[in-house]
Structure 1
């Protein structure tokens, strides 16, 4: 599969006349609980040639898109962000982008940009905005998937992961790891709750198809209480984020020089 992914990325570079800096897995495979039929959620960051940025209409305005998305097929979901878009989101401590940078499954990396972003990421990390991102996700999915006496049990992971990520931020004041097992073992004490979640995880990874089943009370009650508690905690956090614009401007210019001068 990696060969197919690399060929796909090379085709994107040719067709769009860009250079890809980084490509990683961002879905259930990166989280450590793929099903047997899970597709590959590939996310990448790319940069245009210098002249594309030296225009009166910036990239991202009008027809000059700052996203490349390939048609989704049964196995591949491939999309990428243009570098200035990625850096603007990075400046705001965007959790999906921070997750890409921490993915344990990297399909491709070239040039020094991503390593520099990783170095800056601890400073860019804003606990409050990341907390609200995960808690909004957890609340929405809890309302949408886990109401009623019977639920699709696998949908618990759509709520568990953001809740455990929020707990990690609360406890350690740092961006959480992607791997679900690491979150579970670290922020959920040993006992009935952890065992129920672990059993559910094993069932999912074994490829069991979960139809509607009676809700698991111990997990359901934990999630409901934690969403309320963590939302209250988030309101006590300071929201100050330093302005990294100048450093990120310099990183962008350095990338243009490195990528396009080395390609001549």
Structure 2
């Protein structure tokens, strides 16, 4: 995994102090998000920081205006996404991927609160159905936006081309498929730039969704490791063939080498990028974390910074 330079730790610490002063909050937990968190950082990768904070004055929760709930700010090379403690708890209750990954991040910039017990509880109780559809959505939307060959209509709406016929295009719409004549002047053929980075994002999301589904249908849902190299080495062989794993590893290595912006075509495949739209709720849905139990963990987090 690409390590974070020492000067970045110092810069993040300065940023957190600035944020605390500007918003009158105390940061309980600050971790790496994005490519540094899952081991795909290259020389040009941004420093994304996930933050959980507590209002300095908890009475703000009783005020009509209420406390700051979300912070999205860029401080130079550091991009901060933060949630107040109540918003963070609500996201965990909903099995939100971003909130769960804050608990799982291997790089911690600040940890007034040790999230190990909370992370273990969430990994035991999260709702697989929610995470499956999150990952599926990431894979399908990114494939449609960045990889698919498109027709662009004169109102700028894009429709992915599924197949090029002799005198027409078979395209995908929100309502299914349709045929567009090659001479239809309302449409112009174009193509996005399918880069290493976009292919890797889609590959990771599609593999995560398919892995969660496959393990759930065997003997229990196993959460894919956040660090993608570890996932490919330790977990993926139980579900995917060697060729698929090697293709994913090649994308990961090229991203790490600074080739994320290189255009390479479709390295995922349309079918693989579209896991099943529906999976059996009897197998994959569960209630998720208990609210009362979550409240106890949140009390501990607040106590750590008060």
1:97 — aligned with what? 99
Q: Which of 143, 160, 163 is the matching residue for 2:203?
A: 160
Tell me, yes or no, if the aligned pair for 1:30 and 1:178 is still in contact at 8 Å.
yes
Q: Does the 8 Å contact 1:46/1:81 carry over to 2?
A: yes
Q: Residue in 2 aligned with 1:174?
A: 222
1:187 matched residue in structure 2: 236
Separation of aligned partners in 2, 1:209 and 1:175:
26
Q: Indicate whether 1:248 and 2:299 are aligned.
A: no
Question: Relative to 1, partners in 2 of residues 1:195 and 1:45: Cα closer, same or farther, differing over 3 Å?
Answer: same
CA contact (8 A) 2:200 2:248 kept: no
- Contact kept, 8 Å, 2:36 with 2:47, in 1: the verdict is yes
| TM-score (norm. length: structure 1) | 0.83
Kindly indicate whether the alpha-carbon contact (under 8 Å) linking 1:70 and 1:79 is maintained by their aligned counterparts in 2. yes
2:259 is matched with 208
Higher strand share: 2
1:32 to 24, 36, 39: 39
* Alpha-carbon spacing, 1:50–1:245, altered in 2? closer, same or farther (3 Å): farther
In structure 2, runs of 5+ residues without a counterpart are 1-7, 150-190, 216-220
Is structure 2 residue 113 aligned with structure 1 residue 111?
Answer: yes
If the length of structure 2 is used for normalisation, what is the TM-score? Answer: 0.72
Q: Counterpart of 2:126?
A: 125
- Cα 1:240–1:13, aligned 2, differ >3 Å: closer, same or farther? same
- In structure 2, the residue matched to 1:239 is 285
* More off after superposition, 26-35 vs 250-259: 250-259
Shift of 1:117: 2.0
Contact (CA 8 Å) 1:131, 1:234: kept in 2 or not?
A: no
Over aligned residues, Cα RMSD in angstroms? 2.5
* Distance verdict in 2 for CA 1:99–1:127, change over 3 Å: same
C-alpha separation between the residues in 1 aligned to 2:289 and 2:18?
36
Tell me, yes or no, if the aligned pair for 2:211 and 2:224 is still in contact at 8 Å. yes
Partners of 2:126 and 2:289 within 8 A in 1: no
TM-superposed deviation, 1:35: 1.8
Query: Which structure 1 residue ranges, 4+ long, deviate > 4 Å from structure 2?
Result: none
Conserved in 1, the CA contact under 8 Å of 2:70 and 2:81? yes
1:47 to 33, 48, 54: 54
Task: Report the structure, 1 or 2, having the larger helix content.
Answer: 1
Q: State how far apart, in whole Å, the 1-side matches of 2:49 and 2:82 are.
A: 8
1:227: Cα distance to partner?
4.5
Between 41-50 and 185-194, report the one with greater CA deviation. 185-194
Matched residue pairs, number?
249
Q: Which residue of 2 aligns with 1:67?
A: 70
Which deviates more from structure 2 when the two are superposed, residues 169-178 or residues 82-91? 169-178
Alignment partners' CA distance in 1, 2:107 and 2:37: 6
Equivalence for 1:197:
248
d(CA) in 1 for partners of 2:60, 2:259: 49
